[in-house]
Structures are given as structure tokens and as C-alpha cells.
Chains A and B, each alone.
Chain A
Amino acid sequence: MNPDTQIEMMGSSPTFVSVLRASRLVAATGATVLIQGESGVGKELLARAIHDASPRSKGPFVPVNCAALSESLVESELFGHTKGAFTGALNERAGRIAAAHGGTLFLDEVGDMPLSIQAKMLRFLENGECQPLGQEQPRKVNVRVVAATNRDLSALVLANRFRQDLFYRLQVVPLMLPPLRERGQDVELLTRAFLAFFSTRHGVSCPVFARGAQEVLRHYSWPGNIRELRNLCERAVIFHPGQSLDETFVQGQLNAQISSGQVSMSNAELLTPALALPNGGISLDTLERDMIRAALERTQGNRTHAARLLDVSRDTLLYRMKKHALR
């Protein structure tokens, strides 16, 4: 059980509330939903809320992180396989789609789904048929799909990295969660709620943010959105229970978060050039090696996360690491 589900989706800013309202209506149908929004805005939470408000709430909610699956495994993971379908397939396996029968399949980070699997995914969305590897006969399944991504899918379509037909199938119901910095008073509301929540959970008395600290929080850009705010509040509760915290605490915390790099980039940042070419030129090869090394350092060696920072699939990263003899 996800401990997050103890928290309801909170907020009172108009755009956020409208999205919630629309999502509750949409939940009543079986329509495919595409949730878009920056990292940490609550896409997964909303996907669960849609499942819970739907007539399928008694059925399973099956999340699949498309970015975490390697290209070679993704097909059998999603569609399942028969015994002996490929070397290493010792047993039959049902796959995530079949596991979601009667419930909701949550395709998280759908923008990172390998192109090779997209055609098969499209067929599944079009006629509800799931064909396990090594099996001739497709199986009919009854699954509602909710997908989420923090990437700009239409830009990926233009760049030929995401199939246009799949994009249209997914975004029958497009829901766009606003970033925290556009949610005005919600920063305050969420801060109070998180502080209270974590003090109860850790059994300590609740810290408060002094006026100056609140001011800093209100004007901060929150690249990691609600997740970032939530983590900040949890640290405040753990390290300073019952205290009044001023802006130095907050500033220190926010800087620490930026430099530890757990904050992912927004789409706008991804579209503007990240680096300038030095006047004397640069070796592309060295640049690639340095960037891979930096990404691995920043993620403490976690290759899935490093691949995400570099916007490539995990397989691509592994291949390039080998090329540069990195480990």
C-alpha cells in the first residue's frame, strides 16, 4: 500500500480545482485519460483518484513505469509471454495488462515508451486485445488506461519519437495539472497540511514557518513541485519539531535540493539549449563521456535515474557507458 494515499489531493486554486472536477466526471466513463504536468505535480495521485472514483474501483490498479523498463523487457512485462517464447522464458507470465483486467492500467512516464512497443500498444488500445509473446491468439481484456507524462508529448510526436496515432488514442481525455508556482495560495495551504500530517505521523509537535520563510516559499519557483514541498516539510518536522523556522532555514533547504539535483527539468528548460559551445570548440565524445559521468554521480550510480536525466533509454545509457568504458 502506498503511504501517499493517506493524503487526499489538496488545493483550492481555480485551475487545479477545475481539473479535479473534470476528472471526477470523466472517472465515471471508461475513457482513456492522459495526465500531463511537470514532475511532482501529482499525476500519479490523480490517476489513483480517477481509479477510486470509477466504477472499477473494486478492480486492480496496476502501475507500469514505462521509463524504468528496458527495451528488451518491456513487451513481455506488459503483454506477458508463454513458456519458451524466448530464451529465458522458463514459465508462462500473464503481463501487466492482463493483471489489470477489470481495473485500471496506469502507464506512467508514457513518453518514454520505446517506439518498438508503441504499435502493439496502439492495437491494444484500439480493440482491447492483448497478445502475449509466443502466443498466436490475442486475448480480450477489459482494462481502462490512464497514462501520465511530464514530457511534452506533442513535441515528441513532432520529433518522431512518439507515434501520432498512439498520441491521439491516449489523449481522449487530456488533463493538465498546473505547476505549483501557478497555484498561488495553495503553497500555504499545502505547507500547513504537510506539516500537520508529518507531525502526526512522527508523533512530534508541529513546527511553523515564520512570516519571512513563508514569503520565500511563496516566491520560489518549485521545479520539483508538490513533491519538493512535501519533502521540505517532512525534513522540517523531523529536524525541527515544534520550532518556528525562519527564511535562513528555508533558503538553506531549497539550495540543498537544487544542488542535489533531484529536481527534474521542466519542458521549457528542455527546449532551450542547455549548453553553449565554447569559442575554441569541444570534442563531442568527451562531452558525452563527461555528461554521462556527471549524471551517474548525481544519481549515486542509479542508471535508470541517470538515463532519465540524460533523456535517453536505460539501454542507450548502458551502451554508451560501455562505449566510454564507464561503470
Chain B
Amino acid sequence: MDHFSLLIPLLLALSSVLHCLGMCGGIVGAISYHLSSSLGSDRRRIWPFLLAANLGRLVSYALAGGLVASFGRTLFTTLSPEYGHTLLQGFAGVILVGNGLFLIGKFPELHRIEQWGGYLWRGLEPLAKRFMTPKTIAQAFLFGLVWGWFPCSLVYGALLWSSASCSALSGAAVMVLFGVGTIPGMLSAGWVAGSLVRLGGLSRFGRITALILLGIGVFNLILLGINVHNPKLHEINHIINCLIPP
């Protein structure tokens, strides 16, 4: 249970399967189409390209996760050397609640960040277009590296949460886990999309996972409140530590 917090990025990813299908499913579809028309329809030759692209995406996520985590840590310990860690824990709880609310449609403000991400993306888009039709596995990987910066509120939600990590390394790990969680949704795009029954099931599933995240966030904040009043309750301290990235 000590590393319960590592389940959270997976939950985050799973609750967004439907979103991934809708937004990035088309991008995956387009690349697969390109690959099957240039390599032939043999699936075994296409897979390595798709895996390379997703690997590239994970590398970018890890980089971003490491960056924001070291930034977050520095920020909070500078703000208050004494209570920096507690602040970080509170921040993690707030971010979880925010993510949960966003996923059930009650916190659209998270979209704001997408606008800032959009400015960065403007610079990257020409590169993405260039590698959109990869001829080699290396190019597919490069596409993935760029694709990782495609503006996406869910990625930003996960990033915010990873910024509450205690080290750059665990921030990176959180984002890699999140990325791994998104792969099944991404690759099954063609298969799931369009079937009303499956989509209905997915949206219910997404809501449930979102509510679980919300619950964990609230739970974390309550425990933190108790903890601030009674710092001696070691049990509670331990649980809180399990709830935020190590």
C-alpha cells in the first residue's frame, strides 16, 4: 500500500479513455492508414511504428513530469521551508479533486491551460506534420516526441498532480504511468469507436473512475486537516504519504 499513489495516474488515464478515443484516436487512425498504405496491410509491420510513436510520447511526458515536479518542489520549499511538504500534500489533494471534477464536467476551467499549451504547439505543429507520415521507425519515434506536447487538458491535469511529487524522478514516473494508461485507449480507437453500446459503457466507467479520484482527493484533504491539528497521529501521516507521489 505504500505506493498506492502510483495507481492514481493509471486511474486518471483510464477515466479518460473516451476522451483519448475522440481526440487522439483520429491521429492514430491517420498514421495507421498512412502506414498500411505504404507498408502493406500486414499488421506485424505496422505495430513497431505505432509502438515507437507511443514510446516517443511517453518520453516527452516523462520529461515534462520531471520538469514540473522539480519546479513544484522548489516552489513549495521556498515558500515555506517548514511547511513546504504539508503544502505539497494539500496541493496534491486539491489537484485530485480538480481532476475528478473536470472529468465529470464540473470544472471546465482546466481547459484554460490548453490555451497556453496552444502557444507552444504552434511552434511544434510543422514538425508534427512532417513526421505524420513516418518512413522509418526513428521518424515514428520523433513524431511521438512532438505528439507528447499536443495540447490536452487531461495531460495537464496529470502534470499538475505530478508537480506535487517529492522528486523529479517520481514526477517523471507518474507521467510515464499516466502515458502507459492511455495506450490501450489510443490503440483500440478503430475498434471501439462507433459502437454505441461500448461507448456507453466507457462513459459510465469513466465517470466511476472520476468519482473515485474525487473521493481520494477529498479523503486526502480531510486527513490533512486532522493531521495539521494533531501532528502526532502517525497512522494518518502514513496514509497521507501513500496518497501523494513519493
Q: Is A122 an interface residue (CB 8 A)?
A: no
The reply to whether B194 and A26 contact each other, CB–CB distance below 8 Å, is no
CB distance from A243 to the nearest CB of B (A): 34
Once the chains bind, are B193 and A30 in contact (CB under 8 Å)?
no
Q: How far apart are A40's CB and chain B's nearest CB, in angstroms?
A: 21
Contact B27 A18 (CB under 8 A): no
Tell yes or no: A17 within 8 A of B by CB.
yes
A214: Cβ under 8 A from any B Cβ: no
Query: Are B114 and A31 neighbours in the complex by a CB distance under 8 Å?
Result: no
From residue B210, how far is it (CB to closest CB) to chain A in Å? Answer: 18
Given known A21-B151, A25-B128, A174-B193, contact A30–B26 (CB-CB < 8 A): no
A148 to chain B, nearest CB (A): 14
The CA of A17 and the CA of B151, in the complex, are separated in Å by: 10
- A interface footprint on B86-120 (CB within 8 Å = 1, 0 otherwise): 00000000000000000000001001001100100
Chain A, Cβ-Cβ closest to B152: A18
Name the one of A14, A17, A155, A172 contacting B33, with C-beta atoms under 8 angstroms.
A172
Q: Contact check, B118 vs A17: say whether CB atoms are below 8 A apart.
A: yes
User: How far apart sit A172 and B27, CA to CA, in the bound complex (Å)?
Assistant: 9
**Structural contact, A32 and B23, CB atoms closer than 8 A:** no
A118 touches B (CB below 8 Å): no
- Number of chain A residues close to chain B: CB under 8 A: 28
Q: Flag whether B25 is at the interface (Cβ < 8 A).
A: yes
Rounded to whole angstroms, the CA-CA distance of A17 and B194 in the bound complex is 22
Query: In this complex, what residue of B is CB-closest to A18?
Result: B23
The verdict on A174 contacting B196 (CB below 8 Å), with A18-B151, A25-B132, A29-B30 known, is no
Q: Is the CB of A172 within 8 A of B29?
A: yes
A293 sits at the interface (CB 8 A)? no
How far, in whole Å, are A14 and B153 apart by their CA atoms in the complex? Answer: 9
Task: Establish whether residues B31 and A29, one from each chain, have CB atoms under 8 Å apart when the complex forms.
Answer: yes
Indicate if A262 sits at the interface (CB-CB under 8 A): no
Residue pair B129, A24 in contact (C-beta under 8 Å)? yes
Q: Is the CB of A29 within 8 A of B132?
A: yes
A258 at the interface (CB under 8 A from B): no
Residue of A22, A155, A168 touching B190 (CB-CB under 8 A)? A168
Q: Within 8 Å of chain A (Cβ to Cβ): is B133?
A: yes
Q: Assess whether A175 is interfacial by the CB under 8 Å rule.
A: yes
| Contacting pair B153 A26 (CB below 8 A) | no
Contact bitstring A150-165, B, C-beta under 8 A = 1, else 0: 0001110110000000
Chain A residues contacting B34 (CB-CB under 8 Å) are 29-31
Residue among B23, B29, B133 with the highest chain A CB neighbour number at 10 A: B29
A12-B114 Cα distance, complex, nearest whole Å:
11
- B96 to chain A minimum Cβ distance, whole angstroms, is 21
**Chain A contacts for B23, CB-based, 8 A:** 18, 22
Using a CB-CB cutoff of 8 Å, which residues 1-47 of chain B contact chain A?
22-27, 29-34, 37
Q: B150: CB under 8 A from chain A?
A: yes
Q: Which chain A positions have C-beta within 8 A of B115?
A: 12, 14
Q: Is A141 an interface residue (CB 8 A)?
A: no
Q: Contacts of A232 on B, CB cut-off 8 Å? A: none
**Closest A residue to B31 using CB positions:** A29
CB 8 Å contact bits of A237-273 with B (1 = contact, 0 = none): 0000000000000000000000000000000000000
From B108, B121, B132, A28 is in contact (CB under 8 Å) with B132
B30/A154 in contact, CB under 8 A: no
Taking the nearest CB of chain B, how far is it from the CB of A160, in angstroms? 14
Contact B125 A173 (CB under 8 A): no
Please judge, given known A-B contacts A158-B196, A174-B193, whether A25 and B33 are in contact too, CB under 8 Å.
no
Closest partner residue, chain A, to B121 (CB atom) = A21
Bound: A30/B37 CA distance, A:
9
Q: Which residues from chain A contact B25 at a C-beta distance below 8 Å?
A: 174
Closest 4 CB pairs of A and B: A31-B33, A31-B30, A14-B111, A173-B26
- Ordered by A's residue number, 29 sampled pairs between the chains whose C-beta atoms are within 8 Å are A12-B115, A14-B114, A18-B114, A21-B125, A21-B150, A21-B151, A22-B24, A22-B26, A26-B27, A26-B29, A28-B30, A28-B129, A28-B130, A28-B133, A29-B34, A29-B132, A30-B33, A30-B34, A32-B33, A33-B26, A154-B195, A167-B194, A171-B194, A173-B26, A173-B27, A173-B30, A174-B22, A174-B25, A176-B22
